[in-house]
Chains A and B, each alone.
Chain A
Amino acid sequence: MESVKETALQKPQQPNTALYRTIWRWHFYAGIIFAPFLIILAVTGAIYLFKPQIEGVLYQDYYQVTPQGEKISASQQIEEAKKLYPDAAVTVYRPGESADRSSEVGIVNNDESLTVFINPYTGESLGELNSEDRIIDKIEEFHGELMAGTLGDRIVELAACWAVVLIVTGLYLWFPKKKPGMGGVLFPRLNRGKKTFRRDLHAVPAFWVTAGMLFLIMTGLPWSGFWGTNFQSMTTNTGQGYPPAIWVGSGPQSTIQTKDIADVPWAAENFVVPASDIQGFIRLPIDDVVSIAEREGVHPSYSIYIPQDKSGVYTLSAFPPKAQDEITMHIDQYTGAVLTDYRYDNYGWIGKMVAWGITLHKGTQFGLINQLISFFICLGIILVAVSGYYLWLKRKPKKDIGAPKTAGFNNTKGFFLLLIAMGILFPLVGLSIIAVLMIDLILIRRIPALKRFLNA
């Protein structure tokens, strides 16, 4: 076990080797298990950061129009889309934020969701995109749930939470121990032989990337499926988070009673609906919703989500690059009354922080400079994960996995309390720790070969 010797040499008077070895052991196993996921997250994240540029090039022909005269009305544009897909349900309309941007009509056709791009000056279709075919959406799905639905979402969340454990344990291992100079701390030592250099190649960049990585994790977690949803509910409940129906909770309902809503006969041969049912309120034309958006000063990049049942509402929402421009508005589908109008200023302080976190995480808040910084953090994460593996493979003895020997519980209570705290803060980490302890007790301690291989 060269590696253990090396560490021992570096710290001849190590007062708490049990603690050091325990932390190292956790760092080791967490790293081996979760580094591949962190690499996936960093690679997909690095690509997704440049979504605006990539889609701008890929879909240029769908996005760009030449302004000419007046735009035709939203309802006419939707009619044009409906001519192409007579049986489709229209779910969303996006007017386009600038004079040279096409409008988008989102439809569901045979269970496929399509976006039809319309030239708002002529009503011509510029083509349609199937959501399934959008490469950036695929990358986002990979980044958020490894293309594996809820299970994938939980794995990503678990990896992100364990990355926090890696950071904490890593920082402890990295923390300079009474040695003069910043070699091996802030910059790698090039003249101390290969072993030292390999260690520094992992530990030094890891330190540099720590803050950025922790930032990306903490800003990413609030939109994760399990931790994020609970976090959002909790903060929304305190009155300091996002108002309801932006992340969690359902929106308001339209104020007209069902009995006062007009029934529409849907087939001529069945025209037996009594007059009293035909009499009633009818849905506000979408053109009125567009006027409301203009009147209320909604950010021009908004979309209108069309109610799909009688009690639903029109939802106007815009999540533009900058957090301060966000808006979610619900409009009564019959009266046009604004039922809720939540803008960034109406978020609680936690909601505001999360909103900023999200736009910074996505790299949109400060544009290119934001994207570049995040991009370098991603590269750093990849470097650290790969160099960690490299370090392991180079140190690994043939006969076992090369983990630091288990050290028992002497003097390590503090660390375990920290782990428990992490397990409570991130229940998925807690659950996985319990799972590890179970496997340890049930399998590893009873199978000598396994015990030897894992240095347990």
Chain B
Amino acid sequence: MRKFRIRESNAVKKYIFMILLLSFLSACSLDENTAELYKQETPLKLEIQTPDTFTAGEQETIKATLTQDGKPADHADFVHFEIWKQDGTVQYGMEEAVNEGGGVYSISKDFDKDGLYFVKVHAQQGDSLIMPQKQFIVGELSKSDLDFLQEGTGRQETGQGHHH
């Protein structure tokens, strides 16, 4: 009787073990493309090109290239540019951009004063609304600009990410 029992429990054990092994081997990790099974957004993406050189007395053009779902976003509901200088001496309020076609939108302005500038693009196409902000430099940075950038350290780079 006892012998029989042990043999039986051995068989049971083997059986359990095999099945468990199988279920562990198939233990799940998340598929890479799972997100496609759920609601997906089509966020607007963009690049902003600021001029490499600035010439006094001439207008320079800032361009934003918008894409959505991998295609040029050429029928945006709106694209507005807003430009200002860090010290507040230059302020170009919100203004509609020129649609150059192919998802490229631009604005031309005077940049005759040296320093740190910001351009903020407000754009919407379909469900996606974006408001990215980019900083760029005209000529040399002033002391005030440098201080601003230093102070910005704490604000923009909270936590980790300090490395050289």
Contacts and interface: CB of A to CB of B under 8 A. Distances in A.
A437 B9 contact: yes
Interface in A237-261: 237-239, 243-244, 248-249, 252, 255-256, 260
B20 A244 contact: no
Given A265-B153, A337-B45, A434-B17, A408 B39 contact: no
Interface string A271-287: 10001001111111000
B4 to A, nearest CB: 8
A424 B23 contact: yes
B159 A280 contact: no
B154 to A, nearest CB: 7
Contact of B133 (A91, A266, A281): A281
B159 A335 contact: no
Nearest to B30: A249
Given A237-B34, A281-B133, A335-B46, A266 B153 contact: yes
Interface in B1-37: 1, 5-6, 8-10, 12-13, 15-17, 19-20, 23-24, 27-31, 34-35, 37
B94 interface: no
Interface residues of B, number: 61
A441 interface: yes
Interface residues of A, number: 70
A260 B47 contact: yes
Contacts of A265: 149-150, 153
B158 to A, nearest CB: 5
A341 B28 contact: no
Interface in A409-429: 409, 416, 420, 423-424, 427
Interface in B106-139: 118, 127-137
A268 interface: yes
A308 B136 CA distance: 23
Interface in B50-86: 50
Contacts of B150: 265-266, 268
Contacts of A238: 37
A338 B42 CA distance: 8
A3 interface: no
Interface stretch (A146-154, A180-188, A228-236, A317-325): A228-236
Contact of B13 (A335, A342, A431, A434): A434
Contacts of B29: 233
Contact of A310 (B16, B132, B133, B161): B161
Contacts of A86: 154
Given A236-B30, A445-B6, A270 B164 contact: yes
A111 interface: no
A260 B164 CA distance: 16
B159 A89 contact: yes
A89 B158 CA distance: 5
B34 A256 contact: no
A300 interface: no
A230 B158 contact: no
Which among B17, B41, B152 has the highest number of chain A CB atoms within 10 Å?
Answer: B41
Interface in B82-112: none
A340 B37 CA distance: 13
A234 B41 CA distance: 23
A433 B16 contact: yes
B30 A337 contact: no
Contacts of A332: 43, 130
Given A243-B38, A341-B41, A437-B9, A420 B30 contact: no
A424 B39 contact: no
B10 to A, nearest CB: 8
Contacts of A32: none
Given A266-B157, A434-B16, 18 more contacts: A86-B154, A255-B45, A271-B146, A279-B134, A279-B135, A282-B152, A288-B131, A308-B159, A335-B44, A337-B41, A337-B44, A340-B39, A408-B1, A430-B16, A430-B19, A434-B13, A434-B20, A441-B10
23 contacts: A89-B160, A239-B38, A264-B153, A264-B157, A266-B153, A271-B146, A275-B141, A278-B135, A278-B149, A279-B134, A279-B137, A281-B133, A282-B134, A282-B135, A295-B129, A309-B161, A336-B130, A336-B132, A337-B43, A348-B37, A423-B19, A424-B20, A441-B6
Interface of A: 82, 86, 89-91, 108, 230, 233-234, 236-239, 243-244, 248-249, 252, 255-256, 260, 262, 264-266, 268, 270-271, 275, 278-284, 288, 295, 306, 308-310, 332, 334-342, 346, 348, 408-409, 416, 420, 423-424, 427, 430-431, 433-434, 437-438, 440-441, 445
